[in-house]
Amino acid sequence: MDTTRGDGKVVWIVDADHWPRASLRAELLERGYEAIGFESARDAVLALALGRTPRPQLVAVDLTGQTADLASLRALLRAGAPAVGVGGALEWSSPAVESLGWAARLRRPVTIGAIAAAVAAL
Q: pTM of whole model > 0.95?
A: no
Q: pLDDT at residue 8 above 90?
A: no
Confidence of residue 74 (pLDDT cuts 50, 70, 90): very high
The DSSP string of the chain is -----TT--EEEEE-SSHHHHHHHHHHHHHTT-EEEEESSHHHHHHHHHHT-SPPPSEEEEE-TTTTT-HHHHHHHHTTSS-EEEEE-HHHHT-HHHHTT--SEEEESS--HHHHHHHHHH-
Domains of the chain: 10-121 (3.40.50.2300)
pLDDT at 7: 63
Higher-pLDDT residue of 99, 3: 99
